[in-house]
Copies of this chain bind each other. A is one copy, B any other.
Amino acid sequence: MTIDPFHAHDHAGCISSGLKMAERQCAAEGLQFTPVRRRVLEILLGEHKALGAYDILEVLRAEGLGAQPPVAYRALDFLVSHGLAHRIERLNAFIACMHTGQSHAPAFLICRSCKRVVEADTDPGAGELARAADDAGFTIERTVREALGLCSGCRAGDAAGAPA
């Protein structure tokens, strides 16, 4: 695991290095890293939480970068399809990738109390899904692996409910 947002870290560094990685990748692959796409990634990098498409749209709208849902969805589709962001199925929401460049099979830990999400990089060939697929002769193309629960900080203060 590279960055653990459940604990203290250089957060300004998350944003700037995330943007730099994305610029480099887009240049290398001949992709257009347009202002809207860049800004959406920046918004996602600004939080270690998953943001809904409409949360992002609200920001874009306030900044005059686009007012209609397709603007946000298109930018998110671009980021997700090039591995710069991930969709969290359980939350119908999106989060910046924390492992850009590495080929990975991401898994996510989602804290129900503080809402933060950590991306854990895992071995694509390992795990229960791969074993079950082997047994059934099933060819995996994409996996969704998300755990909900409490991060260590929230468990300390809160065994059941959800404060902020």
Seen from chain A, the residues whose Cβ lies within 8 Å of a Cβ on chain B are 1, 4, 6, 89-90, 107, 109, 111-112, 118, 120, 122-123, 126-129, 131-133, 135-152, 155
Stoichiometry, copies per complex: 2
13 pairs, CB–CB < 8 Å, chain A vs chain B: A1-B132, A89-B89, A107-B128, A120-B132, A120-B136, A123-B128, A129-B146, A136-B151, A139-B149, A140-B149, A141-B150, A144-B144, A144-B146
Is B133 touching A122 in the complex (CB atoms < 8 A)? Answer: no
What is the chain B residue whose CB lies nearest that of A159?
A: B139
Q: Which residues of B contact A132 (CB under 8 A)?
A: 1, 107, 109, 118, 120, 122, 147
Is A150 touching B129 in the complex (CB atoms < 8 A)? Answer: no
Closest beta carbon of chain B to A106's beta carbon, Å: 10
Q: How far is the CA of A132 from the CA of B152 in the complex (A)?
A: 13
Is A107 touching B129 in the complex (CB atoms < 8 A)? Answer: yes
Residue among A1, A111, A149 having the largest count of chain B Cβ atoms under 10 Å: A149
Q: Which residues of B contact A138 (CB under 8 A)?
A: 6, 109, 111, 118, 147, 149-152
Q: Known contacts A6-B138, A135-B1, A137-B151: does B109 contact A120 (CB below 8 Å)?
A: no
Q: How far is the CA of A147 from the CA of B127 in the complex (A)?
A: 11
Q: Which residues of B contact A143 (CB under 8 A)?
A: 145-148
Q: How far is the CA of A146 from the CA of B148 in the complex (A)?
A: 14
